Structure 1
Amino acid sequence: MDTTQLIFMALGLPLNVGLASLGSAYAVSQSAIAVFSVGVMKPNVIIKGIIAVVMGTMLGLYSLVVGIFAGRAAMGLLKDGKEVSPLGGYLLFASCSMNGVANLAAGYGIGICATAGIRGIAQQEKLFFTYILSLLLLEALGLYGLILSLLSIPR
């Protein structure tokens, strides 16, 4: 029995959680730093800035959802002592890494957007709509990764 597909299947789950957590941590840390630094001088910006922190946290939850479904799929592929097909192992790896990379990119974008956006809102309140729209579009990247990886997890 070739164990290559088992190795890829086992590597997919930590890759999903690890990359998505890196993106989430970057988004939350950069957003929080911007909120804290601007909130000292302009306390009314704190509530508006917390939105980016919450959106960054959602990226970590996306990896949790994919991890649960992928773990159950891996257990389903391994049950009854049957041999895992190469396609099943590689497809599980691809679906997990797809979610991880998408959420890493979304977290990086949210962190950069939040840093500039919160400082911009402190100077000009009119930028709030543009800030929220940018955050929503960046969060959509993570959501696309979640949806596509859930659809590609082998049954």
Structure 2
Amino acid sequence: IKMAPPFCTPTATLFGMLGSTLATALSNFGAAYGTAKAGLAIASCGVMRPDLVMRSIIPAVMAGILGVYGLIVGVIICSQIRTDYSLYQGYCHLAAGLISGFSCAASGFTIGVAGDAGIRGTAQQSKLFVASMLILIFGEALAIYGIIVSLVLISSPSANNLCVPIK
């Protein structure tokens, strides 16, 4: 019994694992950048206005959530890799990982830069707090858009009959 060579190669698993890895790594990279950038602003704000430190922690928390998004996508992709894993599924999972990872990385950069400016601005003029939070929410929405598209790709109809023996 021969397996269909163009559809059921061992490289399909490689593409799926790459998708899982990239989703996790890129989203954690964005989360780390956003947390570090906002953390520096929190530290400098704490010197000028210690009473605003707890209010200023919101961007760092929002950036940390991005790592959880990548973890969710990575775990879902890994849980679907089996012995009858086709190239179609591998490519879908690679694309899902790339979409999730890059959208979370972009969101992390947005949250880091906007959070830094928002924290420093709020320390000088407290009226900027609401506008700063709205900008951060829109930055977080970038990651949510990528997660939605990734989950649609992951749950797309799998081609289970691609790995059947040739008769």
TM-score, structure 2 as length reference:
0.84
Q: Which residue of 2 aligns with 1:32?
A: 39
Pair 1:16-2:23 in alignment: yes
Q: Distance in 2 between matches of 1:128 and 1:11?
A: 40
Q: How does 1:1-155 map to 2 (within 5 A)?
A: 1=5, 2-74=9-81, 78-79=82-83, 82=84, 84-154=85-155, 155=158
Percent identity reads 38
Q: Distance in 1 between matches of 2:98 and 2:91?
A: 10
Moved more, 6-15 or 46-55: 6-15
Say which one has the larger Rg.
2
Superimposed CA distance per residue, residues 31-55 of structure 1 (whole angstroms, 9 cap, x where no aligned partner): 1110011111101221121000110
Please report the RMSD computed on the Cα atoms of aligned residues, expressed in angstroms: 1.3
Unaligned runs of 5+ in 2: 159-167
1:96 Cα deviation after fit: 1.1
Unaligned runs of 5+ in 1: none
Give the 4+ runs in structure 1 shifted more than 2 A. 1-7
More helix by share: 1
